[in-house]
Amino acid sequence: MELPSVHDIGTQETFVLNLGPQHPATHGVLRIKLTMDGEYINDAVIVAGYVHREHEKMGENRPWTQFLPNTGRIDYLSAMMYTHAYVGVIERACEIEVPERAEYIRVITSELNRISSHLVWWGAYLIDLGGMTPLLYAFDDREKILDLLEALTGARLTYCYYRVGGLLEDVDDNFIEGTRKFVKEFRPRLKMFRRLVTQNIIFRKRVEDIGYIDAEMCRQYGATGPLIRGAGVPYDVRKAEPYSVYPELNFDIPCYPEGDSMARYKVRMEEMEQSLRIIEQALDRLPDGPIMAKVPRVIKPPAGDYCYATEAARGRFEVRVTSIGKPQAHRVRLRTPCFANLSLFEEAARGMMLADGIAMMGSLDLVIPDIDR
Domain of residue 177, CATH code: 1.10.645.10
Domain count for the chain: 1
% the chain with pLDDT above 90: 89
Task: Measure the CA–CA gap between 298 and 294, rounded to whole angstroms.
Answer: 12
DSSP 102-116: HHHHHHHHHHHHHHH
Exposed, middle or buried, 7 (CB in 10 Å: 0-12/13-18/19+)? exposed
Residue ranges of the chain with per-residue pLDDT less than 70: 1-12, 25
Task: Measure the CA–CA gap between 181 and 19, rounded to whole angstroms.
Answer: 42
The string of pLDDT tens digits covering residues 9-46 is 445 689 999 988 877 767 778 899 999 999 999 999 99
Domain that residue 88 falls in: 55-338+354-371
The string of pLDDT tens digits covering residues 62-101 is 999 999 999 999 999 999 999 999 999 999 999 999 999 9
Residue 178 lies in a domain: yes
Residue 222 lies in a domain: yes
Residue 40 lies in a domain: no
Task: Measure the CA–CA gap between 261 and 213, rounded to whole angstroms.
Answer: 9
Nearest to 360 by CA among 223, 171, 179: 223
Residue 49 lies in a domain: no
Task: Measure the CA–CA gap between 361 and 22, rounded to whole angstroms.
Answer: 15
Q: What is the largest CA-CA distance in the chain?
A: 88
Please give the pLDDT value at position 6: 42
Residue 347 lies in a domain: no
Task: Measure the CA–CA gap between 300 and 95, rounded to whole angstroms.
Answer: 12
Amino acid at 317: F
Residue 304 lies in a domain: yes
**Which pTM does this prediction carry?**
0.94
Please give the pLDDT value at position 9: 43
Residue 36 lies in a domain: no
Rounded to the nearest 5 percent, the helix, strand and coil shares of the chain are 50, 15, 35
Residue 30 lies in a domain: no
